[in-house]
A = this chain, B = another copy of it.
Amino acid sequence: MNFTASQIADLVSGTVEGNNNAEVNRLSKIEEGEKGSLSFLANPKYTPYLYTTDATITLVRDSFVAEKEFKTTLIRVEDPYDAFSKLLEHYNEIQQHYSSGIAHTAIVSQEAIIAASAFIGDYTQVGVKTTVEDQVMIQPNVYVGNNVFIGANTKIHSGARILDGTIIGKDCVIHSNAVIGADGFGWAPNANGSYDKVPQTGNVTIGDHVDVGANTTIDRATLGATKIGNGVKLDNLIQIGHNVEIGDHTVIAAQTGIAGSTKIGTHCQIGGQVGIGGHLTIGNRVGIQAKSGILKNIKDDGKVMGYPAFDYTAFNKAYVHFRNLHTHISDLNSLKKKLDHE
């Protein structure tokens, strides 16, 4: 879909300087601008790119004064970054296909309750006693089990597996190939040196405005629920063990794993590839550096790093010495020699 410079100026309350009929159909960074793309110039250090960019249209600040020639059509706005963000959102909305209805090849239980405005894609299955609310979009090739609840406006991407009993709130996004509600990893050693399965009968509950990344796994509880709070954002390839609880608005980067029964507070920021042991309590607003290994509880506002992790500043101080350990040990050995000779 093409937009003209005048149409865009209308959308962002700007004024065109150049060709009112210049057309664009995609967005780009100014340094990667091409014919047909729209860019922006917010940070002055990118100004040189304005004179060379092939972007057809560029958003600039009202006060911008050019010092050289350029080819791009300008749209002057108060705040180019804000205007660009607004266009990004607009663009994204247009990209979405607000289809509704149930695809001919979808297999939906007669005992499922599907809102008329929901969309269910090809080769997707929806089980017995499952509820799918308004505007929910379930892409093709998804498996939704029995007794599942999916709140309004939630989007589930192709290949996700939403297993029996899972409850998902409103406005969530579950990305492709995520698995929600598989059995937790519970094994009781027996007298023969092998393991008996501890039955996993609980479920997973997910709040509103939650994102679950591609190929991320969230296990069902042994008893009760594995709980993901409102506004939680989980990146790709994360493992959430059985009976874990994650507080509201906590953000977790890719490939982190949280072992069973650990409770994490609200507003935490957890880096990628972090490992958190089982049965721990992590407070609110805790920061955990990428790749840390957590073996102990962490208090509110704690900031940790290391394997095993401890205070962030203390870790970095110790690590500086670690890097120079060879020098320090040489010093130590010189002292020993000196004293032995006295």
Residues of A participating in the B interface, judged by any CB pair closer than 8 Å: 26-29, 32, 85, 88-89, 91-92, 95, 105, 107, 122-123, 125, 139-141, 143, 157-159, 161, 163-164, 173, 175-177, 179, 182-183, 185, 187, 193-195, 197-199, 201, 209, 211, 213-215, 217, 219, 223-224, 231, 233, 235-237, 239, 241, 248-249, 251, 253-255, 257, 259, 267, 272-273, 275, 277, 290-291, 293, 307-308, 310, 314, 317-319, 321-326, 328-329, 331-332, 335-336, 338-339
Residues of B within 8 A of A291 (CB): 275, 293, 307
Residues of B within 8 A of A217 (CB): 213-215, 236-237, 254
Bound Cα distance A85, B190 (Å): 14
Bound Cα distance A249, B189 (Å): 10
Q: Is the CB of B140 within 8 A of A213?
A: no
State which of B159, B236, B239, B318 has its C-beta within 8 Å of the C-beta of A219.
B236
A161-B158, A215-B179, A235-B185 known; A273+B257 contact, CB < 8 A: yes
Residues of B within 8 A of A237 (CB): 215, 217, 237, 239, 257
State which of B179, B211, B255, B325 has its C-beta within 8 Å of the C-beta of A322.
B325
Bound Cα distance A28, B221 (Å): 11
A and B contact pairs by CB, cutoff 8 A, 18 listed: A105-B107, A125-B140, A143-B159, A157-B163, A159-B177, A175-B179, A175-B183, A176-B179, A182-B236, A185-B233, A187-B233, A187-B251, A193-B249, A214-B219, A215-B215, A253-B259, A259-B272, A317-B326
Bound Cα distance A338, B211 (Å): 59
Residues of B within 8 A of A88 (CB): 198-199, 201, 223
Bound Cα distance A199, B161 (Å): 25
Bound Cα distance A318, B173 (Å): 45
State which of B28, B164, B332 has its C-beta within 8 Å of the C-beta of A328.
B332
Bound Cα distance A91, B255 (Å): 33
Bound Cα distance A211, B193 (Å): 16
Distance from A90 Cβ to chain B, minimum over Cβ atoms (Å): 9
Residues of B within 8 A of A331 (CB): 332, 336
State which of B122, B177, B197, B326 has its C-beta within 8 Å of the C-beta of A321.
B326
State which of B177, B199, B273 has its C-beta within 8 Å of the C-beta of A275.
B273
Q: Is the CB of B161 within 8 A of A143?
A: no
| Shortest 8 CB-CB contacts between residues of A and residues of B | A143-B158, A179-B214, A161-B176, A88-B199, A321-B325, A239-B254, A182-B214, A291-B293
A28-B223, A195-B249, A236-B239 known; A323+B314 contact, CB < 8 A: yes
Shortest Cβ distance from A142 into B: residue: B141
Residues of B within 8 A of A92 (CB): 199, 201
Shortest Cβ distance from A219 into B: residue: B236
State which of B29, B91, B257, B339 has its C-beta within 8 Å of the C-beta of A224.
B29
Q: Is the CB of A140 within 8 A of B143?
A: yes
